[in-house]
Structure 1
Amino acid sequence: MSLTVVNGLPAHVLVVHFVIVLVPLSALAVVVAAIWPSTARRMGIVLPLLALVALASVPVATQAGEWLEEHVDSDALVRRHAELGDGLLPWAAGLFVLAAAIWWTTRRSASPEAAPRERAGTATPRSAPALRVVAAVLSVGVATGAVVDVYRIGDSGAKAAWHDGFSKTGDEKHGDKG
């Protein structure tokens, strides 16, 4: 079963809004969690779950978009949008992997058995700050790639949908009253 039409509208135009909201929100959450582990601990399991829902929304939107592509006039703008849309899944997967890794590492450092080691000063090995920097740099890179890709895909989709579908002045709709 594929999601093609919802309430008379192509499902793609509805489902894509999940991607537009959830991917950048996940990107922001991953970056914040990577930079501030205390925030990651407060987010808890919500961090990887948010990224998982964002990841899952991408193929749903893509599948609905492929169905829509078969039901509209194909032109260069539609083809460009479809090509760009196929590139988001790896970015969303990267966000999920980073979210899960950040959650796992902060979860382990907040565990009850880690507390005595923290008080003794042995909980964080010397490599922990370096790993945090690597996680932050990776998170910023993947988050930036994901958000830029969402923007490019959305922009190309808007151009494909609206390039001849509106009047900048409104004169064509109501006639020239001048």
Structure 2
Amino acid sequence: MNEIFWPEGFLPGFTENFVSNEMIVAGMNAADIWPLLSTATLWPTYYANSANIRFHNAQGPQLEVGARFYFETFGFPVEAKCTEYVQPMDGQPGRVAWHGWAGEGETRIDVHHAWLIEDLSDGRVRILTQETQKGLPAQDLARAKPNPMINGHQDWLDGMVGAARQASERR
């Protein structure tokens, strides 16, 4: 299986917080999942912890490398820039990642949120999302029990898979 590519300064284990969520789902493929992830304005339709998504510079709603966008999640107003975007095709996994930031000074949080969507054997798809975070708010999130990031990202995965199932039933 493939892995996430990490930019310098965001390697897990060397940041204040790291979370990883993964699902492997039978009866689906990357093409079922990809539009729900790559079209950021769809996120609030299946993930309640995302809101007010808007793109800067007449970009969007499709993510692409360099796209600047804004959204609200986990109580943070997040500015973000898409740093990786590779559609799944020909046995290669789909990849999307962004650098997000919120706050200033001691309240600043910087994150690298990455996704990997890959087809597996026997009609299965793997959805992996991982995020590293830096800053004092990241330390607080890492100590919280239950972990809001792990639970929130699991809700995102569950919602995405549910939305993909609903879409395939309508076809």
- Alignment TM-score, normalising by the size of structure 2: 0.27
* Higher helix proportion: 1
Structure number with greater Rg is: 1
- Alignment TM-score, normalising by the size of structure 1: 0.26
Higher RCO, 1 or 2 (CA under 8 Å, sep at least 6)?
A: 1
* Higher strand proportion: 2
